[in-house]
Amino acid sequence: MPSLRASATTPPRYLPGTRKNLAKNSVVLIVPASTSQISGFSDLVKPAVKSIAIGEPQTVPAGRYAQEVLRYLKLYDQLKPKLVLAKDVRQVLTHVETGNADAGIVYATDAKISKKVSVIATAPEDSHSPVLYPRRSPRSFTGRGVGRRNKEGGSVIRSPFPTYHVG
């Protein structure tokens, strides 16, 4: 399988030094809005808690963060039999909203979109890798329309989109 990383001869797609973090998120523990039996991560070990929804750690970033949090809190091995692995964060929300899971671990921003769940606890920041949303400036655009002269023959048109002539 070919490597997805750039080779030494391939220039990077982004300008070096242009990465900036635009936003940050938190990892939270959610329960159905009508539930009051869970008040924090430590309550997840109670026998009354039968299932905890998280994203699949191998494919869902939120699941990887959830796994980090549970390992940091030394709960992962004990809770592993209760974990319900979901294909994405929305599915985790659905499991908790419908009561098919007693609790779930998602991003704070995702928890805010549902009126059917309550945020019970926020994971300590040092319990997981930072949840950051970066932006980088592209090195250049390629494709048709780039570097062509305008009709007046003056300035260079810099556009990532093809140029079409109607006529």
Strand 83-86 and strand 52-55: the pairing is parallel
For residue 112, report the phi and psi dihedrals to the nearest 5 degrees.
Answer: -70, -20
Domain borders along the chain are 22-130
Higher pLDDT, 138 or 92: 92
Global pTM reads 0.68
* Backbone dihedral angles phi then psi of residue 127, each to the nearest 5 degrees: -90, -5
Is pLDDT at 144 greater than 90 in this prediction? Answer: no
CB 117 within 8 A of CB 67: no
Residue 107 confidence (pLDDT) above 60: yes
Q: Which residue has the higher pLDDT, 68 or 163?
A: 68
Q: Bigger pLDDT: 150 or 92?
A: 92
pLDDT confidence of residue 1 = 44
Nearest to 69 by CA among 132, 122, 127, 27: 127
Count CA atoms within 13 Å of residue 117 on its CB side: 32
Q: What is the mean pLDDT of residues 34-48?
A: 91
Higher-pLDDT residue of 157 and 85 is 85
CB 148 within 8 Å of CB 155: no
Q: Between 62 and 139, name the one with better pLDDT.
A: 62
Structure tokens at 124: 């300590």
Sorting pLDDT into bands at 50, 70 and 90, what band is 2? Answer: very low
> pLDDT tens, 6-33?
445 555 665 566 656 566 788 999 999 9
Q: Residue 143 above 50 pLDDT?
A: no
The count of residues in the chain is 167
Architecture per CATH, domain 22-130, reads as: 3-Layer(aba) Sandwich (3.40)
